Amino acid sequence: MPADALTFLNPDTMPAPNGYSQMVLIPAGARLVQLSGQVGIRPDGSIAGPDFAAQAEQAFENVRAGLAAAGSRFEHVIRLGMFVTDFPSQISTLREVRDRYVKMEAPPASTTLQVSRFFRDGLLFELDVLAVVPG
C-alpha cells in the first residue's frame, strides 16, 4: 500500500494540530501492525543513556526495526502514543527526535502523556505505534 493511500485529516472544525494529524483514514482491507511499547533499551538490554534524547532516539530506532520486520516503515505509521516522565522539560526534544522519523507533511495521529515512571529505573520515554503494512 502506498503511503498516499492513507488520508491524513485536520478538519477546521477541530483544533489545529502541532506536529500530528487529528485523524487518519485507513483504506478498507489494509493490514495493521501494532508494536508493543518501545523504550530506550538497546538490543543488548542496556539503557541507551541517562539523557532523554538518547533514550527517545533508541525507542524510535527500536520501532524502525520492528516496522521493518513487519514489512512497514515510518511513512506508514498512523498513530503514535508517546509517554514521558517530565513533559515540560522533554517535549521540545521529543518533537525534534520524532520529526526526524515521521513524515511531517502527513504526520500520524498522536497522543502524548506524562507518567510517573516506567517498569525499569532510569527509563524516561516509551513509544507505542500502530502502522499499516503495505501490499
Kindly indicate the confidence band of residue 2, based on its pLDDT and cuts at 50, 70 and 90: low
Q: How far apart are CA 15 and CA 34, in angstroms?
A: 27
The CA–CA distances, whole Å, from 72 to 45, 105, 111, 119 equal 24, 18, 21, 28
The CATH number linked to 98 is: 3.30.1330.40
pLDDT at site 18: 85
For 129, the domain range is: 3-133
Give tens-digit pLDDT for 27-47: 888 899 999 999 999 999 999
- Per the structure, the count of domains in the chain is 1
Residues in Cβ contact with 101 at an 8 Å cutoff, skipping those fewer than 6 apart: 60, 63, 64, 74
Whole-prediction pTM value? 0.89
Kindly indicate the confidence band of residue 6, based on its pLDDT and cuts at 50, 70 and 90: confident
Give tens-digit pLDDT for 14-25: 998 888 899 888
